[in-house]
Amino acid sequence: MPDIKLICFDLDDTLWSTKQVMMEAEKQAFTLLSQNATVIAEHYDMMSLFQARVKKWKQLTASHPQLKYQISQLRRQSLSLVLQDHNFSQSGADQLSDEIFQCFMHWRHKPIYFEHAEETLAQLSEQYQLAAITNGNACSKRLGLDKYFTLHISAEDLGIGKPEPEPFVHTLKHFNVKAEEALHIGDNPSDDVLGARQAGLYTIWYNPKSNPWKEADYKASLEVDQLNKIPAAVERLQANLQMKP
């Protein structure tokens, strides 16, 4: 059996808490918006504005299904539509929405990494090629993680995301490795485990809360509850593969 040559990582909720970083980013963006659009502060708090944006978001994806994975564009357009509901011109709403989005993205890229995240990536990058595969809009280069990841694949870039096999197949082709020479690590049973399995990759389920596995039709190759257990898990998988005829 071939050795593992490529290890792919999910980002959100695998290397950091999405909720934590998103809440801070939303807070900072709402503060800036309130300062530049007092009418918004008069009608919304942070959560009610979020709900109004989600409603616009759903309307946009219903009328333009191709936007499903364009989350940055959806974020900007949904806020612009809310602003236009409060007598902003389209150009004014778009300009302010872009400014607020840049503020959001600044704070989006200030996550607090889970324990052992960077040391694990550093250790693995000495032996394996690493890639990031994400449905989110965090950028490995902007985070400084490009010193570990030599490829960053996002659903926005491809126009399709996990659990569809395309992001994984695209990554395999980039590195010119076979599916049985690759491993994907992530927290989401569907997006990460099922998605990677459908493309033929081995999988490690990152399960820090030790939740029970609920899927009857498939399972991960291995499971870890701490990121620093990943290198040993990869070695264990390698050993098991070498024992197969």
pLDDT digits (tens, 9 = 90+) for 147-190: 999 999 999 999 999 999 999 999 999 999 999 999 999 999 99
The DSSP secondary structure of 99-159, one letter per residue, reads: HHHHHHHHHHT---BPTTHHHHHHHHHTTSEEEEEESS---HHHHTGGGT-SEEEEHHHHT
Consecutive H or E run containing 89: none
Residues of the chain with CATH 1.20.120.1600: 19-108
User: How far is residue 230's CA from residue 236's CA, in Å, rounded to a whole number?
Assistant: 10
Structure letter (DSSP) for residue 4: P
Nearest to 30 by CA among 75, 68, 72: 75
- In tens, the pLDDT along 89-135 reads 999 999 999 999 999 999 999 999 999 999 999 999 999 999 999 99
User: How far is residue 92's CA from residue 106's CA, in Å, rounded to a whole number?
Assistant: 22
Where does the pLDDT of residue 241 fall: very low under 50, low under 70, confident under 90, or very high at 90 and above? confident
Q: Please say whether the beta carbons of 169 and 215 come within 8 A.
A: no
- In this structure, the strands spanning 6-9 and 129-134 are parallel
Q: Please, what CATH class does the domain formed by 6-16+113-243 belong to?
A: alpha beta
Q: Please, what CATH class does the domain formed by 19-108 belong to?
A: mainly alpha
What is the rounded average pLDDT of the residues 210-227?
96
- In tens, the pLDDT along 3-62 reads 899 999 999 999 999 999 999 999 999 999 999 999 999 999 999 999 999 999 999 999
